[in-house]
């Protein structure tokens, strides 16, 4: 069973930080202490451990907008990837946020050193029922596909969540 829990001790904080550092490229990262500060200063910003049967399995950082959410960071522990846990997390998020969630996925259009990883992430989200909105977000000079779990969770929700996070983004229609 998948569950989400707030970080409650040094070991969990260290796990979160290590998995975060290992999972995201530098240009996508917000300093860890800033993430902690944002989640401590606004009850809508959540820094969760993903647990599978009460064991640490991943991390998620999100903006909770009651029945909707924006997922800023989501990673499954590399030591247990490929076991269907990502799909279970997507299913748990669908149950938790009845009106949907929205997230970014690195652009797959173009040549990148990690094109294979980008393509795999894109296929993962498509395979697990997420909808490519045909929109790109521009953040830190990088393009990201915007995916939503259903059409109730929109670009406006995405923009609102980023405003809460203090992140300036542009949204463009994909050509």
pLDDT (tens digit, 9 = 90+) per residue, 88-141?
999 999 999 999 999 998 866 767 776 677 778 888 999 999 999 999 998 777
Mean of pLDDT over the chain: 92
- Is pLDDT larger for residue 119 or for residue 78? 78
Closest to 149 in 3D by CA, of 131, 167, 169:
131
Residue spans of the domains in the chain: they are: 2-173
In angstroms, rounded to a whole number, what is the distance separating the alpha carbons of residues 40 and 44? 9
pTM over 0.85, yes/no: yes
Q: Is the pLDDT of residue 67 over 70?
A: yes
Closest to 6 in 3D by CA, of 53, 46, 43, 35:
46
DSSP assignments along 138-167, one per residue: EETTEEEEEEESSTTS-HHHHHHHHHHHT-
In angstroms, rounded to a whole number, what is the distance separating the alpha carbons of residues 137 and 151? 17
Which residues contact residue 93 at a Cβ distance below 8 angstroms, ignoring those fewer than 6 apart? 69, 71, 101, 149
The SS3 call for residue 120 is helix
Q: In the CATH scheme, what architecture does the domain 2-173 have? A: 3-Layer(aba) Sandwich (3.40)
The DSSP call for residue 63 is E
Compute the residue count for the chain: 175
Residue 24: predicted pLDDT: 87
């Amino acid at each position: 069973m998948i569950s989400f829990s707030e970080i409650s001790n040094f070991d969990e904080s260290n796990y979160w930080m290590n998995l975060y550092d290992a999972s995201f490229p530098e240009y996508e990262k917000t300093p860890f202490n800033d993430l902690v500060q944002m989640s401590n200063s606004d009850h809508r910003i959540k820094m969760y451990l993903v647990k599978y049967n009460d064991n640490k399995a991943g991390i998620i950082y999100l903006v909770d907008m009651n029945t909707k959410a924006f997922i800023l960071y989501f990673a499954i522990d590399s030591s247990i990837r490929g076991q269907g846990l990502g799909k279970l997390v997507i299913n748990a998020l669908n149950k938790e946020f009845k009106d949907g969630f929205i997230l970014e996925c690195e652009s797959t259009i173009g040549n990148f050193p990690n094109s294979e990883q980008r393509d795999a992430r894109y296929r993962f989200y498509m395979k697990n029922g997420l909808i490519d909105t045909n929109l790109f977000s521009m953040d830190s000079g990088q393009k990201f596909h915007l995916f939503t779990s259903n059409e109730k969770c929109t670009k406006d929700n995405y923009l609102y969540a980023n405003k809460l996070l203090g992140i300036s983004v542009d949204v463009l229609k994909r050509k």
